[in-house]
Structure 1
């Protein structure tokens, strides 16, 4: 179990740093339905991570290490593919936000959060974690890493749960602050939202580059051994 959990720690932290779910939660916590929509988006985000991970584990059932302790060639090729895709995605982030105190342009859904119902917030959270290309690739890579360990199905499920919990820390932090501090949390959450908006491009580019290097390096090492 320890091996499986060790494989996903860095992936979980990377997903937790995704800016859009954090910004989305903060925006929803400033609406009249904050007490329901904020947790609903967080739940949807967690469900999306769990859904992708579960599908990958089921599809990858029985894909453990070979007799020599090395992954199968197709598994290494998959890592290489994910690494190349993440490398490409690191250069497809939106342009840097405007400076000189100007507001950052937000996606349309972020400008309409006041009208969201809990069901819509839940669906949005699920879509952001399960369908966003960067988060999807990270979740697939994390679940694939779990599947390749020589551990039982129960241990793999625990490792996936740890990944989901880690991945939920990003959008979960504003929710905890909101319920713990109430009105006093507004200033903290506004500052967090602005910081994430200003640095989203750099954060995601660095994350994608780091994990692209990790996956490509692992694949090259496995295929050449």
Structure 2
């Protein structure tokens, strides 16, 4: 179980440093209903993360990744595909991230956030008018429909399914992975809920730090995760 947990550390950090989720969270916390919408966004994010982990562990079980002495050949294909996707995402994040995250650091309204992050849907400019139900759906969608975050969840589900651990141990590791992946959303939301308007100065400082560092850290982690998946996929084919 310890070996499995160590294997999943870079994958979990790939979720933690997701620029897309952080940009959307900034827009939510700048909205008029920051507290209630922040909680709704957090719950949606948790559902998306846990839902994908559970769904793909179930699917990998149905397709029998442990039914034979060695994983089926399609597992290597999945790893090669996800590795290539994440390596490409690392290049894109690094090249595009600095410019847009710098603009994010000075955003003061949801519309400014959307302008700083053109990869976000245009309707995010109206997040200030969102009610909790719509913000909840935003949290779910930005995890499930984001190929980078979804790929990390699928990789985690695959590694857990392939590990020779008990059902209880697999559940503990799944819960720990979900908890770590939720931290970057949960901490700012809880801080805003507790502190209200007084939370703004610290959030501004955190946002400035994110604008300066997140794109480099996220690109490096995605490259590491992608390289590991490519190495595992190629090794299994040889």
TM range (shorter): 0.7 to 0.9
Contact 1:52 1:140 in 2 (8 A): yes
Counterpart contact for 1:3–1:149, Cα < 8 Å: no
Per the alignment, residue 80 of structure 1 pairs with 80
Compare 123-132 and 146-155 and name the one that shifted more: 146-155
Corresponding residue to 1:126 among 136, 140, 143: 140
* Deviations, residues 79-128 of structure 1 (Å, cap 9, x unaligned): 12211121222233473416699766234344322101111111011111
Post-superposition offset of 1:46: 1.0
1:35 is displaced (CA, Å) by: 1.7
For 1:141-180, list aligned pairs within 5 A: 141-180=155-194
Normalising by structure 1, we get a TM-score of 0.85
Answer whether contact 1:4 1:145 (CA < 8 A) is retained: yes
Size of the aligned set, in residue pairs, is: 222
How far does residue 23 in structure 1 lie from its aligned partner after superposition? Answer: 3.0
- Deviation, structure 1 residue 169: 0.6
Which stretch shows the higher mean deviation, 91-100 or 39-48?
Answer: 91-100
In structure 1, the partner of 2:32 is 32
- Alpha carbons 2:89, 2:222 under 8 Å: kept: yes
What residue number does 2:65 align with? 63
Would the aligned equivalents of 2:35 and 2:196 in 1 still touch at CA under 8 Å? no
Secondary structure of 2:207's counterpart equals helix
Residue by residue, what CA displacement relative to the aligned partner does 1:44-89 show, whole Å, maximum 9, x if unpaired? 111101111111111111423853xx53433223212211121222
Structure 1 residue 212 and structure 2 residue 212: aligned?
Answer: no
**For residues 2 and 213 of structure 2, what CA distance do their matches in structure 1 show?**
33
Listed one character per residue, the Cα deviations across residues 15-54 of structure 1 (whole Å, up to 9, x for unaligned) are 0111232232233223331221001111111110111111
Q: Is the counterpart of residue 117 in structure 1 residue 143 in structure 2?
A: no
Q: Select between 90-99 and 209-218 the one with higher mean Cα deviation.
A: 90-99
Matched position secondary structure for 2:116: coil
- Any unmatched runs of 5+ in structure 1? none
Deviation at 1:9, TM superposition (A): 2.7
Q: For each residue in 1:204-224, what CA deviation from the matched residue of structure 2 results, as whole angstroms up to 9, or x when unmatched?
A: 322221111111122223333
Give TM-score, length-normalised by structure 2.
0.81
Distance 2:30 2:145 in 1: 25
With 181-190 and 143-152 compared, the bigger mean Cα shift is at 181-190
Partner of 1:16: 16
Greater per-residue helix proportion: 2
Name the CA shift for 1:211/1:217 in 2 (closer, same or farther; >3 Å).
same
RMSD, aligned α-carbons: 2.6
Instruction: Report the 3-state secondary structure (helix = DSSP H, G, I; strand = E; otherwise coil) of the residue aligned with 2:134.
Output: helix
Does residue 182 (structure 1) correspond to residue 196 (structure 2)? The answer is: yes
